[in-house]
Structure 1
Amino acid sequence: MALQYPSSFQIHQNFEKLTFQYEPQLSVESNPSLSTCSTPSTPGSPIDFEIQIASEDDRERIREFLQNFFYKDEPLNSFLELINEENPRCYDLEKFTLQDLDSGLNLLAVYDGKIIGVCLNGIMQRGKLEEEFVCEDEKFSKIVKLLQHIEEISDPFQKYPGVDKAIVVKILSVDDTYRGRGIAKELMSKTIDLAKGRGCGFCSVDCSSYYTARAAKKLGFELHYTLKYEDYKVDGKSVFDPVAPHKAMTVYTQKIS
């Protein structure tokens, strides 16, 4: 994962649109997608891209992007075969991931009019759990229950006793073609900027992927909680056994100062 800042950028209207020109260095962006498995990619040639705040009007474009670069390859989705030739779409998954697009917290990386990266975020508050998601898809309900379980038992607010509000990164994904150009890093950087403006004290990332966890660590996030998939059981039976190296659900956090 690239750890170099862009050589130049322009800021317009309080981060509603930012233009970057990234000069690739000798670093590698190993996996810029939350909960996806991909191999490291070497930096390519510089490109000018914009970071824009997403809205409900972008729903279909974002859905198509996630269909191509996130939904199928996320380790838990892949293990359950949530998306396959027989069932190319999971509507509960789409509904779950595309909530609150008008919150002003969701970001798009856009190059030549095309979405090449997304970062979907939300706000969490001390002592308040997310509203229960009603799920009809039997397979996806297993993932929702795991996420709810993680939310209940990990409680990152324990680590930050003076903080009552935080931002949580729900999905971070970059087009395969443009990986290695620092796009994920800039999406995360602007997420932190948005969080500061909302009075958030820390940023939290739930990682179902080994690569995501490694990426979070390289960005300066600290491990807060780990649950091995083999230890998560329902009625005495393990629910998930994704392919190696994805062996645990982890929560990483970073203080916002």
Structure 2
Amino acid sequence: MAQTEDEASYFTLRDGAFVPGPHARGWWTPDTVHGRLLGGLAARALEREHGADGMHFARLTVDLFRSAPFAPVRVRTEQVRDGRRIRVADAVVLSGDGVPLARAGAVLLRTGTPPPGHIPGTGPWDAPPPEKLPAPHGSRTLWRFDEELRPVREWSGDQRRRAWLREPRALVAGESLSPFVRVALAADAASPIAHASDEGLHYINADYTLCLSRLPLSDEIGFEAGAHTAEDGIAVGHCTLYDRSGPLGYCATTAIANPAPPR
């Protein structure tokens, strides 16, 4: 049986509110909206209301400071600064009764001619393309997810954690994902990729910061965990992000210890 538009997407826009569909449910608590989707909604609003030709979204910081009840949400944005080369804008995701659930801040920089000289940079990724890896699977050993995840190899011990991730659904019914919204939705995965242990995921994401030198050119986003440090139940880490053309930026995450939900 074919899915309806509401079932296939995460949200349906009705009277200015985003009504969550079945796939929008959170992992930690089923009667909540998944936090990464709030970041996606904030990115969508910032791009629509503050994006402009020649201005590139170089940074997006998403603060997830309250669980979002499984109910319609709204997004409000505000332009903080608009200069010749730098634009700054904020977004707040609100519950139906106006309670702030998440906040996002974006920095847009005007594109221009690269300066001369050589700077050592992040090299190309040697990971196999997604089609040469095992088919997507809903792993329960690390965390449950709705995205299509293809690990480059099984994550065990201290081996490098690398994976391709592709978002198969529309964020809002009837809308295609823009490259910026696609990578904003994917960015939350930096937390489980960096912080999951061999006994599962026991850190919940408090915030993440996405730094982009360019937008992705492919639907798939590659992740390579670069660091994880933790003390007293607080973890910080980061991943390098790639697409099929090479590196495009980084995502840093902070997380707090949290009991894993029943499987």
TM over 0.5, shorter chain: no
Q: Which has the higher contact order (CA 8 A, sep 6+)?
A: 1
Higher strand share: 2
TM-score normalised to structure 2 length: 0.31
TM-score by length of 1: 0.31
Relative to its length, the structure with more helix (as a share) is 1
